[in-house]
Structure 1
């Protein structure tokens, strides 16, 4: 047993050392990161005036601001500030990963991904419209690094190795693709622009394969953190797009409102990505991600059901009161709907919790039920042999070990006798 534990520790230590950057490689990687970070910061600062003139403060937007009576200074402060905060969030998390874990290959690559993707692909340099050829050549290298590293991150995370191995060759296909898309942006509107979908699907498939076949428990927790962050970002972005059904047409057709509301929601969604990615790499055990996902599913579904019921009850009761009393009584319908929602909240929450547990946490749900049933039988069981067999059955069902041994101590005056009850799973 001790030899097996020592062998496992040696294997894990070998894997950890294999993912570390050491010596000259570490020095070269750090030097490259610092130079690239300084270049990206300078590029963002230099590109701000051009982005303001070409995107945020066009003649049409200036006229609309004048019509609305809004100050250009306030408008630019909000728009540039929101985009700047998003870029700073990426750069700050990249710097934190670099400062804390630059010697780890995966952490360093994650830092490089956040630096190039957030600083260039989603930063001010790529938003400069009508840029000269010289400017495009300057930002092409960090732009290409950002796009390729963003895809390669999902092929490498969390172990730092390409899984499956052919994903390494698939990553190389991104280089000519983004070269064409960068220097010939008109092709984005054509069929070539949809080729990004196979790249994204391949990344998803690779992560699913890694999670189910290769990842350890800790690596699966890291994967859950990253996936949870991306799902939240996507949901935030989708919810912001649903504003088209709420806002009046005058606001929807406004470029000022589009830059403020649409740009702000997009920045908020994008800022979630580096936060959860940093947690996954640095502090994946900070919180129980399974509990967070469970509560998010339960209360997200519960909120959706209650809101739908509340709106439906309010409209239905108001119509019913109108038919009976020949007049609308909105306060009565609101009070009755609120009372109904308050009455069904707890039963509905427990029902949703059970559905989520059975559907997504089936093994844990069955284990809890088995343990609860076993606890109820302990008060009535007096035979040691039957109780021992029952204990073995419960442990086998809930934990599913490869081998089970139960040792019982039968004491006599001055003598201790041990007997073993063994069960193989």
Structure 2
């Protein structure tokens, strides 16, 4: 902090000393203009001017030249004073103020002409000129964070400093001192300016933060306008273009200084950065009116040359009037055309969404997949608005997934979301990156996107449906694979049971029967004992066979039907439920069965699925629900579907998931799979009043099941 105050004090002292010496040179400059500069010339600073008869006198010409130079310098001084006052505690602020003071002092001819005859004063301003070009170059290479970007630019700055020092020791005319052609000076000037602009552009793209990018825009704009204007207007001082009159020199001098006045204004806005106005409209207007001015001048010159030859016998006043009228008529169409071209160059075709839609329609007429169509839309939006990145995202399995994009570096840009709505439903989102960080989309951009996305809604809907169909197809394939695996596993288990258990028992029975036959005559008592053991084994084997058959299909379904089998299972479960209630001194669990109307004949697969879902749910209620009522409801719904619901009033912990503590028999997943196998649905939910609800909707016939699967895939 202390070092910064010392630097601020040194810059302030330099500012005041230079300003005082500058003011002291004003009278000397005025008298030098009158005495010798206007009539005989003062070197490169002020050439000899041709005084027009009846034109401005020498004194008035000198006054105008003094006013132009002083106004230019005072603008630089005012900007430097504001920066020292508001931002003098920052290193870049001090460097910017130093550059403005030095450049604003030495660029006009005033100090160089006014200090002639005073060697010490002349050397002071030569040193100030060296500081000016060095400080401006260093500022452009360091702004806004005080580091050289790219790093090799520090070596380029060493060359710039070396050239400025050589120029200082050569008396301010290095090129003439060493006899170098003027083309060398011109190439050096363009190379230096290109380096300074490139440094800021490179920093803008790769290093700067959003706020720093906005600052950089102002600096690049000011430096570009300043030096490009300086190069163009300097060429107009050539005798080929300039007639050497005092009036022409005053106008060119005023235009040159006015062009360079962009530098202090833009640097002040960039350094203070308290309120960074959007520079894009200013750049737009500058390009438009610069190109418009050039076009009007060329049109006027071409018209004068052409009509002057064609109408050489006419009065020149009439020819001049015709040319002026032609330029006036062409002014508005040229301006409109240039404005449209510049808008498209900077922001794309946001002002003509229907032309973009027409081009898009031509591309959509080609046979493309929905994803390819969305990629075409993303590419068209990117191209039309000149954006770095555009992506289209839809929901896939509950997660937002980008399915089409144009451009690269999605994570490197600031994205703005635009929902895609079709028939009142949000189908997806278009993510568009700003043209530059921190830059918002204009009203024209939003209108363009609104029109385009309105027509893109059906395409996004098709892509969404295609993704859903693919997911359903994948689920169907997975279910089929599970069914095949389950079937083969069940077959293997039956084969193992038959081969490893039942077959040996039957073989043993045959062996025991043969042995008993031999003992019938020799030892009847032993034969009777063998037959008794054989009978016991046969009964056990029959029980095992019944168990095996029961696992394949509950026999109660064939004996009692679905309703009777469920009632029997309720009776079986009521006994352990009654015992548990007696041990815990609680109210016993009561089962209720509600069948609305007579059930139609059910397919075997439907009966098994309903029975398994109902019995597993009742077992879970007995074991885990701590309920007093378990109610089972069967009803036939519309479209020939059977509705099954199992509801209890248990006091289960709402913090635990539905799966928690439930039996590992068929299980919840198995219930869903049994329902899905026959084209139905199964779900589970925890009731707000306590307890659990298991529901299922199953098709009653095979045709309806096939139709339901088809609708899901569609």
TM above 0.5, yes or no, is yes
**1:92 and 2:59 matched:** no
In structure 2, the partner of 1:271 is 261
Which whole-Å CA distance do the structure 2 matches of 1:71 and 1:312 have between them? 33
Tell me the C-alpha RMSD between the 2 structures. 4.6
Specify the SS of the correspondent of 1:57.
helix
Deviations 1:210-229 (A, max 9, x none): 35543245324531342023
**Which residue number corresponds to residue 155 of structure 2?**
166
Q: Distance in 2 between matches of 1:134 and 1:120?
A: 15
Q: Where do residues 302-321 of structure 1 align in structure 2 (5 Å cutoff)?
A: 302-312=295-305, 314-319=307-312
Q: 1:407–1:421: 8 Å Cα contact kept in structure 2? A: yes
Larger relative contact order (Cα-Cα within 8 Å, sequence gap ≥ 6): 1
Map 1:24-423; keep pairs closer than 5 Å. 24-58=2-36, 74=60, 76-122=62-108, 124-128=110-114, 130-157=116-143, 159-162=145-148, 163=150, 164-182=153-171, 188=176, 190-191=178-179, 196-197=185-186, 199-211=188-200, 213-216=202-205, 217-218=213-214, 219-220=216-217, 222-239=219-236, 241=237, 252=244, 260=250, 263-282=253-272, 283=276, 285-286=278-279, 288-312=281-305, 314-319=307-312, 322=313, 328=314, 348-349=334-335, 352=338, 361=345, 364-365=347-348, 372-374=355-357, 390-399=373-382, 404-407=391-394, 420=401, 422-423=403-404
More helix by share: 1
Q: By percentage of residues, which structure has more strand? A: 2
CA distance in 2, matches of 1:404, 1:229: 39
> 1:36 deviation in Å?
0.8
- Give the count of matched residue pairs: 375
Closer/same/farther in 2, CA of residues 150 and 372 from structure 1, 3 Å limit = same
Q: Structure 1 residues 310 and 30, CA, compared in 2 at 3 Å: closer, same or farther?
A: same
Question: Highest CA radius of gyration, 1 or 2?
Answer: 2
Question: Separation in 2 of the partners of 1:236 and 1:388?
Answer: 55
Identify the residue that residue 653 of structure 2 maps to in structure 1: none
**Over residues 261-309 of structure 1, what are the superposed CA-to-partner deviations in whole Å (9 max), with x where a residue is unaligned?**
5654544444344334444545462552441244135423431343135
Taking the aligned partners of 1:332 and 1:45, their CA distance within structure 2 comes to 50
Corresponding residue number in structure 2 for 1:8: none
Report Cα offsets for 1:198-248 as digits up to 9, x if no partner: 653442342354355432453245313420233234444445x3787575x
Give yes or no for contact 2:65–2:250 (8 Å, CA) kept in 1: yes
Equivalent pair of 2:304/2:320 in contact (CA under 8 Å): no
Aligned-pair distance for 1:30?
1.4
Question: C-alpha separation between the residues in 1 aligned to 2:96 and 2:3?
Answer: 17
CA distance in 1, matches of 2:174, 2:202: 41
Which moves more between the two structures, 83-92 or 306-315?
A: 306-315
CA distance in 2, matches of 1:145, 1:69: 39
Aligned-residue offset at 1:168: 3.5
Query: Does the CA contact (< 8 Å) of 1:90 and 1:115 recur in 2?
Result: yes
Task: Work out the CA distance in 2 between the residues paired with 1:134 and 1:347.
Answer: 58
Gaps of 5+ in 1: 1-22, 323-327, 410-415
TM-score, normalised to structure 2's length?
0.43
Q: 1:407·1:419 contact (CA, 8 Å) conserved in 2?
A: yes
